[in-house]
Chain A
């Protein structure tokens, strides 16, 4: 079974600074998707960024980028120029390519932005 581990329960960063959230996963599949989701106090899961495992190039979305290390099964999220609105729970998630759209989530990292 696939597992996702986030080893940082909490992180904090100064506004405008850069922060990196860590995620490792375990799978025997060769093709899969990896995601970072943001969950603000509204509780709605919001997709931040997605990475296809067959793509060597790291995904980027504006201030958000990932460092995908397939051999190490590591998938970290870098947030540049942190903003107060980035404060939230962040979840790393895995999904197989085929079959049901079952996301396997990590335990989450609570990110605090200090003004």
Chain B
């Protein structure tokens, strides 16, 4: 079991609302990435943060935004929720040291349902 924790585990929201998902990285990790996994699909990359700056983004609209804090915990914010935002949201952390061989550690995800 990894040290990446996500909260809440489950969440139900209404279309048009806003939601914040949280991720606590494994101790010592400075990089966090977020993925969206729709039912029956593989995860899709949303974005990545390194030392509090976004340094990579997938094909998601601006209403998906994030933050990484000095303690390297992270938030994923989604505004104006749509029904298609219903999915499992996975957080993954790693230690970036300038090399390219970093191993990702995933959390167990937040299951978001939009009604």
Contact = CB atoms under 8 A, between A and B. Distances in A.
A25 interface: no
A55 B107 CA distance: 29
Interface residues of B, number: 29
B33 A105 contact: no
Nearest to B59: A1
Nearest to A102: B45
Interface in A67-82: none
Interface in B56-73: 56, 58
Contacts, number: 61
Interface stretch (A11-19, A37-45, A58-66): A37-45
A97 B31 CA distance: 16
B55 interface: yes
A43 B103 contact: no
Given A91-B42, A108-B41, A101 B106 contact: no
A47 B103 contact: yes
Interface of A: 4, 42-47, 91, 93, 97-108
